[in-house]
């Protein structure tokens, strides 16, 4: 695996787990350590990829095929990785990304039922062995997460799915974390924001301590 000067951190989780405020917190923490931070998101992160995001999230009459959805996620991702993420890492910046490839395994794999081996093929083709250095998986019960999204107002195409869809997403995320515990750290997102931030801080601390690059 190619070694970059910068560090790539991703945040994952199902709907309503508090990703946005946690992302801001991670950004503050890393900036406070003196690193130059680029914050971005998927699907999105470039002009073209943001347009693909708009297409993906829009409510529409025409049913969206699972494979169409997966291919569009990867189309946006390839553009984003090539144009934004890798160049930033090469410059030595720390990239913090709201969702990445784990979301495709959770949503299109767990949620839509696409086989893991098929997603792996796409991942290998588009990303080769490129992976986040650290992934924080915010986890809470599906009911509680959905309750929180309801308070946010109008739902997008993903947020109107049934409970089972989200249960499958949560299970897929947790299974991925179990298979790759070194990279993927589970954060219990149910307690108070203060408590969640404390857990994130602990994970970042042990990551920074163990991450051996000459620049740290
Ligand atoms: P967001 O609401 O967290 O910004 O993400 C937009 C939606 O896109 C969210 O419902 C999850 C979904 N998504 C996938 O289904 N697959 C993916 O690979 C990514 C990155 C997001």
Q: Is residue 1 part of a domain?
A: no
Q: Is residue 46 part of a domain?
A: yes
Residue closest via CA to ligand 1's atom 16 equals 104
Indicate the average pLDDT of the chain. Answer: 94
Distance from Cα 57 to the centre of ligand 1, integer Å: 8
- State the pLDDT at residue 139: 98
Q: CB-based burial of residue 146 (10 Å sphere; 0-12 exposed, 13-18 middle, 19+ buried)?
A: middle
How far is Cα 80 from Cα 85, in angstroms, rounded to an integer? 6
Q: Count how many domains the chain has.
A: 1
Domain span at residue 12 reads 7-210
Q: Is residue 2 part of a domain?
A: no
pTM of the entire structure? 0.95
158 lines ligand 1 (CB under 6 A): yes
Q: Is residue 216 part of a domain?
A: no
26 lines ligand 1 (CB under 6 A): no
CATH code of the domain in which 108 resides: 3.40.50.300
* 184-188 and 134-139 strand pairing: parallel
- State the pLDDT at residue 216: 45
Of 13-17, 25-29, 34-38, 175-179, the range with the lowest mean pLDDT is 13-17
Of 102-116, 120-134, 145-159, the range with the lowest mean pLDDT is 145-159
Question: What single DSSP character describes residue 128?
Answer: T
Q: What confidence tens digit (pLDDT) does each residue in 150-203 have?
A: 887 777 877 777 889 999 999 999 999 999 999 999 999 999 999 999 999 999
Q: Is residue 182 part of a domain?
A: yes
């Amino acid at each position: 695996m190619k070694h970059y000067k910068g560090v790539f951190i991703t945040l994952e989780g199902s709907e309503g787990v508090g990703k946005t405020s946690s992302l801001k917190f991670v950004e503050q923490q890393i900036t406070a350590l003196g690193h130059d931070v680029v914050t971005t998101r998927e699907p999105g992160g470039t002009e073209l990829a943001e347009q693909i995001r708009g297409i993906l999230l829009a409510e529409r009459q025409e049913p969206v095929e699972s494979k169409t959805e997966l291919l569009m996620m990867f189309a946006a991702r390839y553009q984003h990785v090539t144009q934004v993420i890798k160049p930033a890492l090469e410059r030595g910046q720390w990239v913090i990304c709201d969702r990445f490839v784990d979301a495709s395994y959770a949503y299109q794999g767990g949620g839509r039922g696409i086989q893991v081996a098929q997603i792996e093929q796409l991942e290998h083709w588009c990303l080769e062995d490129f992976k986040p250095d650290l992934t924080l998986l915010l986890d809470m019960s599906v009911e509680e997460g959905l309750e929180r999204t309801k308070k946010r107002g109008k739902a997008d195409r993903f947020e109107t799915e049934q409970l089972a869809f989200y249960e499958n997403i949560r299970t897929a995320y947790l299974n991925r974390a179990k298979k790759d515990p070194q990279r993927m750290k589970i954060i219990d997102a149910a307690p108070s924001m203060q408590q969640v931030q404390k857990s994130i801080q602990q994970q970042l601390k042990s990551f920074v301590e163990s991450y051996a690059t000459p620049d740290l």
